[in-house]
Structure 1
Amino acid sequence: MRGFTPQTFTTAPAALVTFFESSSNHWSLSLLHFLFNYFTSKQVMAFLPKALLLLLLAVVCIQLSGVQAETPRDRCWCVETKKYVRKETIEEFSIFPIRPRCDKVEIILTLKPVNNISEVVQRCLNPSSAQGKNLQTCWKSRNTNNTFTFKMSNCPMSQNA
């Protein structure tokens, strides 16, 4: 192959010029020779570990951002709230204070299972309602170990609340 020397492949642009100026009838062999020499050159081989490290770092960052986006307690959960839910139907409740991405107190009730169905049913209670205020008072006075959920049986309340 005329015109091809080891010095021809020190840079990609020079190698391309030499390749296209070549009038060889064996263009596929010339192309193969060019690609082999270019991708085994010292410059490419020196860059390859850095490129792989950068690719690995990008994959890790993408994975971590996906995990972070799925963390719970990220924003307000209660779109609709009820003013009252019958006390007999409530199994436990949780009260979430104002958080960085939610500017209101949220009371989430977990209802007792109906007809032995294992599906968990939750309702949001308006914290400004009478029942909401009673639950918050009970939570503050009786939830001494600061658990996330609190059994309704631990809150003796009047029947109308």
Structure 2
Amino acid sequence: MKHELTGATKGLLDEYKKAINELIVVIQSLDDNILSKVVDEKTSDPDCKSIQTVLSHVINSGYGYTIYIENSLGMNKIRPEKKLLNSVSEYSEHLILMYEYCENFFQLNSDITLEEHDNSKKIKVNWGQQYDVEQLMEHAIVHILRHRRQIENFTRILECKS
């Protein structure tokens, strides 16, 4: 049964939604045709070459954070495939769907323990860190903020080139 979110969980989800909405505002004014333009030709990270690859990475990671938490509770969820989309409206829609997936999880699991001091009970992620639920959600929020800034910088670079 879904529950209304309260306390620290509501605070985390409110900040997550705020970060996502700020990212959507940044991309809303972009033309679809610049999404796939390679901005960082020197990076070896395929997720950081264009606005399109950054946004696809953000969405895939957003689902990944929630799935890490779900799987820590014994679920056997599989992270969806990363998809390159072709329009700002598609990315905006998928960012909202990503948030709703996370929110739905917390509404269905409102009694989840956010803070865990026992390292053996923390969530181990594929980049080697261990997080409790609160730390993983804080990471998810900052992940959005950092990539929003990256997209703002990419946009300035593209404007200078045109």
- Structure 2 length-normalised TM: 0.20
Q: Which has the higher helix share?
A: 2
Q: Relative contact order: is structure 1 or structure 2 higher (C-alpha 8 Å, sep ≥ 6)?
A: 2
Max Rg structure: 1
Q: Which has the higher strand share?
A: 1
- Structure 1 length-normalised TM: 0.20
